A and B are shown apart, each in its own frame.
Chain A
Amino acid sequence: MRSGRESGKPAEDGRSSPVALTVNGVRHDLTLDNRATLLDALRERLALIGSKKGCDHGQCGSCTVLLDGRRVKSCLILAVTLDGRAVVTVEGLAGPEDLSPLQAAFVARDAFQCGYCTPGQLCSARGMLDEVARDWPSAVTEDLTAPVELTDAEVRERMSGNLCRCAAYPNIVAAIRDAAAAR
């Protein structure tokens, strides 16, 4: 599989752009090679290494962040497209001494083993619970027009964009349901 990283040589004229990006509430004025993904900009330029590069092809979900409040895969978004937009990464979900309810539920439920996918799981779950709060249906929702009831099947379907190769899935589902119930 090929790497999606920027090449080392500087981009030619017109092939880099100024980008004003707000990350976790802090504005950054950057000049970025147009090829840089949001994930690379976060990790390589802003040293926010919580967001992980797993597959780099939008399949594993470990790079999931919130863009203007919606969960997205940062490995498939070109940073140049995000001028003026706001991103929240796992570093912005809560402070180190003050876990969010979702993070606390992951700890309480032992919802990880190696932890590599966890930042993406957390950002995805945060975005997913907001989608549920807006009654967005999923593929397993029986009645498209009824309020959503967050069953195990709903959590599994909605979190299917996040892989966990340690297979901590049962505990991830339990943690997310705990956090949802406490909302």
Chain B
Amino acid sequence: MRAFRYQRPADVAEAVALLDAEPDAAYLGGGTNLVDLMKLGVQRPDLLVDVTGLPLDTVDTLPDGGLRVGATVRNSDLAAHPAVRRDHPLLSRALLAGASGQLRNMATTAGNLLQRTRCVYFQDTGKACNKREPGTGCAARHGQNRDLAILGWSEFCVATHPSDLAVALVALDAVLEVYDPGGAREIPVAELHRTPGEQPERETNLPRGALITAVRVPPLPFARRCTYLKARDRATFAFAVGSVAAALDLDGDTVRDVRLAYGAVAHRPWRAYRAEEALRGRPFTAELAARAADAELAAARPLPHNGFKVALIRNLTVRALTGLAAAVPR
């Protein structure tokens, strides 16, 4: 591991100024991903700016019924927060589907969103990776790509984003509060992550030095009618092979509104707008759910080893929505 300097900024402005002034600086949250990548030599910061001491660790209920989550709230505290469990259970479900008890006690809200892909070629400095080292190629494109993208990838990168929480936040139209050298701004979570294009090393639309300070989750009248289904290679403590976040609102049998987002299929959490469009205003049936998933997945381009993900996501969509439809009071 490269030797590095370490600083605890007194406030958000100092943190952002430190990052702005140092090209090789990185923010440190819970460290569950960054410290590991530093051990692997994938990330080699010269300065760590520890933001866990900043006063960004509260969960507040907003007057409109929404939620404001500080950037350094630990995943376990967010999942167990009474208002989250009661009014925004999709967040609890997504968080609890990820990692382990110990890691959730460490990992932060913003760090969860900014975690790096678990593509094994990215994590192995002996392999070509345009994300880790631009211009070196993508060993995953024609390598073992079973776990990688089916949507939105490019010849430069086929990595997926590993967060479960991000999938739920995208489904719920959450917004990030961000502070950067130009001041405070807001970015929808759906616009945080990018598709790889020709620059897979650019993973987010955050300006250099930007610090996420909070996530705001707007109120959703049917937020309690939600589910997060996560397929993985063992019963628990594994990253998704594919996941579906869903919330459903029925008027009689008719779909009044729906939220649908997919995880582990692309370089960013994938909001299934086309599927939602195919569902809204129509009488709900399992067949409709399948057609809606097909409409979204028509754009899928599976890699040699992950063609099964198309059927997996389709089936998870049907299971999630039929389960919710059966449980929704008519």
Instruction: Give A residues with C-beta under 8 Å from B.
Output: 2, 4, 6-7, 11-12, 14-15, 17, 33-35, 37, 56-58, 61, 64, 67, 70-73, 76-78, 80-81, 124, 127-128, 131, 134-139, 141, 144-145, 156-162
Query: Is A2 touching B35 in the complex (CB atoms < 8 A)?
Result: no
Contact A137 B79 (CB under 8 A): yes
- A139/B35 in contact, CB under 8 A: no
What is the chain B residue whose CB lies nearest that of A153?
B235
Residues of B within 8 A of A158 (CB): 101
Q: Measuring CB to CB, which residues of chain B are less than 8 angstroms from any residue of chain A?
A: 1, 3-6, 28, 31-32, 35-36, 38-41, 48, 50, 52, 76, 79-80, 82, 85-86, 89, 92-93, 96-97, 99-103, 105-106, 235-237
Nearest residue, chain B, Cβ from A139: B96
Separation in Å of the A124 CB from the closest CB of chain B? 6
Label chain A's interface by main secondary structure.
Answer: loop
CB pair A139–B236 under 8 Å, yes or no, is: yes
CB pairs A–B below 8 angstroms (5 shown): A70-B76, A71-B102, A78-B6, A136-B76, A139-B96
Contact of B32 among A14, A58, A145 (CB under 8 A): A58
Return chain B residues, CB-CB under 8 Å to A15: 3-5
Contact of B80 among A73, A128, A136 (CB under 8 A): A136
Given the known interface contacts A78-B31, A144-B92, the answer about A131 and B1 at a Cβ–Cβ threshold of 8 Å is no
* B76 / chain A contacts, CB cutoff of 8 Å: 70, 131, 136
B35 contact set on A, CB distance < 8 A: 37, 76-78
Query: In the assembled complex, which residues on chain B have CB atoms less than 8 Å from the CB atom of A37?
Result: 35
Task: Select the residue from A2, A58, A71, A80 with max chain B CB neighbours within 10 A.
Answer: A58
Cβ–Cβ contact A145 & B4, under 8 A = no
Residue among B5, B38, B41 with most chain A CB within 10 A: B5
Q: What's the Cα separation between A60 and B264 when bound, in Å? A: 23
Distance between Cα atoms of A155 and B216 in the complex (Å) = 33
Bound-complex Cα distance A64 to B102 (A): 8
Minimum CB–CB distance for A43 against chain B, Å: 16
* Chain A residues, Cβ within 8 Å of B235: 156, 160
* Contact call A81/B36, Cβ cutoff below 8 A: no
- Chain A contacts for B3, CB-based, 8 A: 11-12, 15, 33-35
Chain A residues positioned under 8 Å from B99 (CB to CB):
161
